[in-house]
Amino acid sequence: MRRLRLLLLAPLVALLSACNLVVLNPAGDVAAQQGDLLMISTLLMLIIIVPVMALIVFFAWKYRASNKEAEAEYQPDWDHSTSLELVIWAAPLMIIICLGALTWAGTHLLDPYRPIDRIKPGQAVEEGVEPLQVNVVALDWKWMFIYPQYGIATVNELAAPVDRPIRFHITSSSVMNSFYIPALAGQIYAMPGMETKLHAVINRPGEYEGFSANYSGDGFSNMRFAFHGLDQAGFDQWVSGVRQGGQTLDRDQYLELEKPSEKVPVLHFGAVDGALWDAILNMCVEPGKMCMGEMMAIDKQGGLSMASIRNTMPLVYDKYAGRGKSPAYFGSNESYVMTICTPLQAEARAADRMRQAELDVVAGPTSLERLTGQGLSPKRTPMASLTTLANPFATGPVPTDIRSAPNA
């Protein structure tokens, strides 16, 4: 019967032998260091776990009810042993100290924002080597990759040359997601309006899998992509093939691609709008929408006072269910913050208001004094109210230095 049980377990052992433990046997140096950190931590903890499990079996056997010899050793009044206390507390304390030092070093050396300083053990990154930059956008439910150094983009396909440092700039279009290639490096979050970074390197050619490690909706299960580790010649050939795709990734194409969809096939774009990544990151791809960089610059200058309430209150979190779709609270159908007009438009509008005031015989001259919000100094460059486009009697020039800038 015992031999029969062993035979029944043989198929299970065979199945387990075919498993690819990519986390413990990755193809990238960063992931390999993370795997080593995991193994060392586990072994340190087993120093306590294994003896405890063994002692549980030993005590259960020695002090079983049928062992009459153990009754002679029974001491019901025993309550303390200094030697035993030292062993019980000293060993876990030493392990905690070792784990703390290991975690502290690993946290800093494997910081995803820290550029890598080695390609593999014993091989440092050569001075002057330019990392491959890949801008990653988590869409619903697909991944978009922009290669700014090559002017190309792909959907659900990623490639990189072997032994060349990679610098990922990661964001999301709507909800929080998680970018993860187990063979390359650890996962890192992708969040709308924010940029996270990840530095890594692939050391072995091959095809690996990347996916979303954070639930993000209906199409989450199919939010996967192929990652190709190629030699330099193979990577150059791949880039050439993408450039022959013919499509151009501009704002209109991105807005169409941004709509929720599942099981999207691989797409190639041979050209990319150079300002698209900044617009995605600043959440202003839609025409006429104010960029976050502009909004932060306005806030830094003191804001637009109460006139901005009608523009900012209608913002809602859900990009598809509310933002840009629901009516505004203060009499406008626009439900996102609109861009500020240019100085020429502001001057023309001011002249029109003055002419209209003269025709209507308005009592008192139209004031051209600058608008100031809470905290604004009169000596600073004035900010115009967004209501100048809708209110014929609103005044104020517009500064020219508040356009959006890429987030650091």
Q: Is the peptide bond before 141 cis (omega within 30 degrees of 0)?
A: yes
Query: Which residues, at least 6 apart from 219, have a Cβ–Cβ distance to it below 8 Å?
Result: 140, 141, 142, 260, 261, 262, 263
Specify the pLDDT at position 20.
62
pLDDT at residue number 380: 42
Residue 313: the pLDDT is 42
CA distances from 7 to 4, 14, 15, 18, 19 (A): 5, 11, 14, 18, 20
Backbone phi, psi, residue 333, to 5°: -85, -10
Nearest Cα to Cα of residue 152 among 278, 269, 276: 269
Tokens linked to 249? 């990734």
Give the pLDDT of residue 399: 40
CA 210 to each of CA 88, 226, 273: distance values in angstroms, whole numbers, following the listed order = 44, 6, 26
pLDDT along the chain (408 residues), means of 10: 56 52 82 89 90 91 82 78 86 90 88 90 88 94 94 94 95 91 92 93 93 86 93 94 87 91 91 91 84 80 64 47 46 52 64 68 46 45 39 39 38
| pLDDT value, residue 328 | 43
Helix (H, G, I), strand (E, B) or coil at 268: strand
Q: Running DSSP on this structure, what letter comes out for residue 192?
A: B
Nearest to 263 by CA among 228, 226, 221: 221
What pLDDT does 372 receive? 44
Among 164, 163, 160, 195, which residue's Cα sits nearest to residue 181? 160
Q: Which helix (H) or strand (E) holds 160?
A: strand 157-161
